[in-house]
Amino acid sequence: MTYHEALEAVGRILGEGGDEVLREVVELLQRELEQYSWLGIYLVEGNELVLGPWQGPEATEHVRIPVGQGVCGAAAASGRTEVVDDVNADPRYLACFPSTRSEIVVPIAHEGRVVGEIDIDSDRPAAFGDEDRAFLERVAELIAPHCLVG
């Protein structure tokens, strides 16, 4: 699936609505974009990121991450997308899966506040380029209204 097709599919899921839209978006992206080995949405609760829907071969032990810790916590603190081409070279990286080589974390903001983030691990080195960043930042804008938990 191209990024354009994936954005249209996300739009369709959101248009249909319901309680499971985040889960459906997560499943779609992880299934259709080959280099997205593991994909999850963390939601901000107080000073923590709490894992919401995720899709991938294995569960992560990092179900709660303090804002400021790890690559996830850095993106939540700054409100800026983090792209890590080589996770083993980034001292902030909190390891989840031995197979992971690169990671992107895209904050989800609503009315100027970070309310969550999309976290994707890839088994390929440097899997995330400018197209992924632009695509995922657009997805984050679209799903933001569905990420308001606390």
Q: Which stretches of the chain bind ligand SME, using CB under 6 A? A: 40, 60, 62, 65, 70-72, 93-94, 96, 103, 119, 121
At closest approach, how far in Å is the CB of 125 from ligand SME?
15
Please give the Cα distance from 25 to 7 (Å, whole number).
10
Looking at beta carbons only, is 55 or 115 nearer to ligand SME?
Answer: 55
Cβ 18 to ligand SME shortest distance, Å: 26
Sheet containing 64-66: order of strands: 64-66, 48-55, 38-45, 113-122, 102-110, 82-84
Number of residue whose CB is nearest ligand SME: 70
Classified as helix, coil or strand, 1 is: coil
Q: How far is the CB of 33 from ligand SME (least distance, A)?
A: 16
Close Cβ partners of 73 (under 8 Å, ≥ 6 residues apart): 49, 65, 66, 67
Q: Which run of H or of E encompasses 139?
A: helix 130-143
Q: Which is nearer to ligand SME, 70 or 116 (CB)?
A: 70
CB of 84 or CB of 143, closer to ligand SME: 84
- Which is nearer to ligand SME, 11 or 57 (by Cβ)? 57
